[in-house]
Structure 1
Amino acid sequence: MGQPGVFENTLLLKQDGAPLHYVFPVRQWLDDEFPDKCIGRRRPIESPARSPDLTPLDFLLWSHLTSIVFTPQPESLDELRQRIFESCHDIPQHVFENVREEFEHRLYHCLANNGQHFEHLLK
């Protein structure tokens, strides 16, 4: 990503490449709100190919919520919505602490592996 210190004190936005995030109105808004500061597919800063996933919601929190929301299987859309709301509201503090610790752990592995895939290094 260039010379050390190039991005110090600079806010950058990393896009995940999801199709809904790539539609023209979204890209236009990002260009207006974050000119030359977006990392992603066809953005001012191209996202590295096969970059590792460091999103805490993806690697830990969603699995926690899914196990609660879908056990047992909801019988209606209203019940699903209610369970999601209640489950998010009732997340214990230790879960957030675990997410933060795991995120930090992954960041260290990512740095040690020069930004390349590091999942094989996780225990």
Structure 2
Amino acid sequence: MERLSPAQRLQIILLYYENQRSAKSVFRALRATYGLHNRPTERTIRYTVEKFETQFSLLDNTRPNRPHTARSAENIAAVAESVRDDHNESIRRRSQQLGLSYATTWRILRKDLGLKAYKIQLIQELKTADLPNRHRFSLWALEQLEEDPMFSTKILFSDEAHFWLNGYVNKQNCRIWDEEQPEELQELPLHPDKTTVWCGLWAGGIIGPYFFKNEAGRNVTVNGARYRAMLTDYLLPEIE
């Protein structure tokens, strides 16, 4: 949450002494004022009380206005020019190229230049032949809406996902700290067990999940016959 105002700190102090000097009781009492997830933590409550009892103050300590030597106008201009040249460069590499620390480069980007780091968005590629197909589908959908105003409520979106059942270890995130190579190995089957799950979404709510299994309850791969059986034996009864 944001920095507490003097009035908010005074409320904490009053509640603290009204509740037999219990930070936990103050934490519970503040729920009525701040809600469940936005109230000051017990650590903040104890810090506020400790500062009041030692410094007799509810105000923030004044800090000297020291000049930002690292975030000088020259360095800010250098970072701005670097961004104009390549806005995909990482902060670490950019700081190395400019001879600045990582923290200084980050502060200039965020606080002085007001920039934010955005992730690239992945979308489905459209081929040239897809455009007329999408146009024909749009015209068909508009015709259906004119004939049946409830047509949009009859559209069902579905997807399938595969889940591996033997566990998975990402070697890039798993590290073993030791004095020597521990030769730690993980055996993986040639054909690991997995299950395929189907789920649908429409105006009536969520349908599923549906697990593709055979009569013995074993996970099976999905083919045309099994998918058609799922539609007729499971999906249609669910939406009727």
Instruction: State the TM-score, normalizing by the size of structure 1.
Output: 0.31
Q: Which has the higher contact order (CA 8 A, sep 6+)?
A: 1
Which structure has greater helix proportion?
1
Instruction: State the TM-score, normalizing by the size of structure 2.
Output: 0.19
Which structure has greater strand proportion?
2
